[in-house]
């Protein structure tokens, strides 16, 4: 198997594992971390394709994804802190009344 194909397979696997973690885990913080894992999978595919096509655009996109991930965590964690203070639980089922 070629290195490019191997790395793309790894990135697909990381994305799928992150998605699975978001679906099956109950803890809100673990779900957030699984979202970060999905972003890491996307980053790996971007870097692999950029390296294969010898363009710097992929690296720039990865940099932008870093910023988006940092922003996501910076907003999500205060929200989780507020929710835990209100409900005293990290279990997602405790927040079922947030449904519209």
Partner 1 sequence: MIETVLLWLFAGTALVAACLMLVLRHPMRVALALIATMLSLAGVYALLGVHVIAIFQVLIYVGAVMVFMVYAIMLLDVRDRSFVRRFSPLLVPGVLATVVLLGILALALWRTLPAPGVAGTAGQVFSLQRFSVTFLNEFWLHFEIVSVLLVAAVVAALAVLEIGRRYRG
Per CB under 8 A, contacts with partner 1 among 27-56 are 27-30, 32-34, 36-37, 40, 43-44, 47-48, 50-56
Between 47 and 100, whose beta carbon lies closer to partner 1?
47
Distance of CA 97 to the CA centre of its chain: 25
Based on the shown chain and the rule CB under 8 A, indicate whether residue 10 belongs to the binding site for partner 1: yes
Distant-in-sequence, close-in-space partners of 93: CB < 8 Å, separation ≥ 6: 26
Distance (Å, whole) CA 92 – CA 83:
10
Distance (Å, whole) CA 74 – CA 41:
20
Between 82 and 100, whose beta carbon lies closer to partner 1?
82
Q: Which of 93, 96, 98, 100 binds partner 1 (CB under 8 A)?
A: 93
Residue 50 near residue 57, CB atoms below 8 Å: yes
Q: Which of 94, 95, 98, 100 binds partner 1 (CB under 8 A)?
A: 94
């Amino acid at each position: 198997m070629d290195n490019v194909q191997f790395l793309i397979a790894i990135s697909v696997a990381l994305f799928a594992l992150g998605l699975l973690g978001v679906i099956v885990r109950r803890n809100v913080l673990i779900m957030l971390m699984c979202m970060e894992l999905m972003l890491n999978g996307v980053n790996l595919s971007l870097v692999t394709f950029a390296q294969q096509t010898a363009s710097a655009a992929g690296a720039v996109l990865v940099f932008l994804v870093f910023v988006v991930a940092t922003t996501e965590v910076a907003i999500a964690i205060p929200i989780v802190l507020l929710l835990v203070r209100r409900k005293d639980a990290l279990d997602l089922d405790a927040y079922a009344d947030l449904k519209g």
